[in-house]
Amino acid sequence: MENKELEKISKKLDVLISLYLRSLLGDKDFEKRSKLRTSVFVNYLANFDLETKDIAGILGAPVQSVRTLLTPKRRRK
């Protein structure tokens, strides 16, 4: 497969994971997010060795914000 095709598949999987996660939480308002909850999810998803870019795509957060939230976790390793 070509790199572009893999990126398309990755984006579609990110959307599916995001929708599934929100349905599990019963999140009706997709725009309203708690910073604490986002932090918990970032660390949870990081435990599965997902890349920062993928975590940001799943949560709909900027990549730099995800990196910032992961910084203390990386220092503890």
pLDDT for the residue numbered 29: 56
pLDDT for the residue numbered 14: 81
Inter-CA distances, 2 with 8, 9, 15, 22, 69, Å: 10, 11, 20, 31, 32
In this prediction the pTM is 0.63
pLDDT for the residue numbered 75: 47
Checking phi first, is residue 42 left (phi over 0); if not, alpha (psi -120 to 50) or beta?
alpha
Tens of pLDDT, residue by residue, the chain (77 residues): 688 888 888 878 887 887 787 777 776 555 555 666 788 888 888 888 888 988 888 888 899 999 998 887 554 54
The position carrying tokens 């918990």 is 40
